[in-house]
Amino acid sequence: MAYLTETHSTPISDRFSNAAKSLLQDFKDYRMYRKTIAELEKLSYHDLDDLGLSRSGIKATARQAVYGY
């Protein structure tokens, strides 16, 4: 029978710190997503067409730019 004699667990303070960093990054990403949408929505139809975009594709373009999917 095998026994585990040593464990390496992450201290709770490190886990909390990592969770806080993750939440902060998620918030920053969301703000960048919203800012990207706002900037693209300011453009005219002609400017969007020059970029190869349409109004209906603004959210997808912003999502791709910020989140990569």
For 27-39, write each residue's pLDDT tens digit.
Answer: 999 999 999 999 9
Residue 19 resides in a domain: no
- This prediction's pTM: 0.78
Q: Is residue 2 part of a domain?
A: no
Identify whether 46 is part of a domain: yes
- Per-residue pLDDT reduced to its tens digit, 33-68: 999 999 999 999 999 999 999 999 999 999 999 999
pLDDT at 5: 67
Q: Show the domain range for 35.
A: 30-69
What is the distance between the alpha carbons of residues 32 and 64, in angstroms, rounded to a whole number?
A: 12
What's the pLDDT band for 12 if we cut at 50, 70, 90?
Answer: confident
Let me know if residue 41 belongs to a domain: yes
Task: Name the token pair of 35.
Answer: 């800012």
Q: Is there a domain that residue 22 lies in?
A: no
Give ∠ CA 5-11-16 in degrees, rounded to 5: 150
Res 52: pLDDT = 95
End-to-end CA distance of the chain: 47
The tally of domains found in the chain comes to 1
- Cα separation, 32 vs 26, in Å, equals 10
